[in-house]
Chain A
Amino acid sequence: DAMVIQNPRYQVTQFGKPVTLSCSQTLNHNVMYWYQQKSSQAPKLLFHYYDKDFNNEADTPDNFQSRRPNTSFCFLDIRSPGLGDAAMYLCATRRGLANEKLFFGSGTQLSVL
């Protein structure tokens, strides 16, 4: 059974058209992460939450925003997608900062036309 669920699996948007990616988890984990992974590159951390405490990476573009309305859900909003934002977006959870294992969702592959 999927424990970290990302929807949709594939998302196509137009240049400049806002898009929202969603992530939900059934694990009741405190920590949630959003990573961006471009082809043949390392996953790059965009944001993470410890409960409601939001941590933005210094080099995450302002075009990217995130919301975590409750423990189970987390959203990634891209306000004005550019061609360079086409990537796999990975959501991951972790029970707490002292717990090592990261659980990844299946990812959302974003295409920008």
Chain B
Amino acid sequence: QKEVEQNSGPLSVPEGAIASLNCTYSDRGSQSFFWYRQYSGKSPELIMFIYSNGDKEDGRFTAQLNKASQYVSLLIRDSQPSDSATYLCAARLQNEKLTFGTGTRLTIIP
């Protein structure tokens, strides 16, 4: 079982709609969770991190964490074409390593 799992997509969302990206993790001891955006050929850039159950909002982005279900999500409101990228979910495991999922490719359709 992979430590961090994501649906690889592609996920297509109309411009202006809400994009919903999901991630599950296997290690119940995971401490913190991260969403990175990665454009093709570029390095990952941090969008948000979350470590408490519930929602965390930052502008158009909302991260949601449910530790009981071992589930993390990222919502992008008012999606823009510039949001088209691969979104990587990562979990900081008990041994301090940051482990990434394979990413979900998101396409915003104008």
Contacts and interface: CB of A to CB of B under 8 A. Distances in A.
Interface stretch (B55-63, B69-77, B93-101): B93-101
Contact of B100 (A43, A105, A107): A43
Contacts of A105: 43
Interface of B: 4, 8, 32, 34, 41-46, 49, 51, 88, 92, 96-103
A40 B8 contact: yes
Given A42-B102, A45-B97, A102 B8 contact: no
A42 B96 contact: no
Contacts of A106: 42-43
A17 interface: no
B45 A100 contact: no
Interface string A10-45: 000000000000000000000001000000111111
Give 5 nearest A-B pairs by CB, closest first: A42-B100, A104-B43, A42-B102, A107-B43, A43-B100
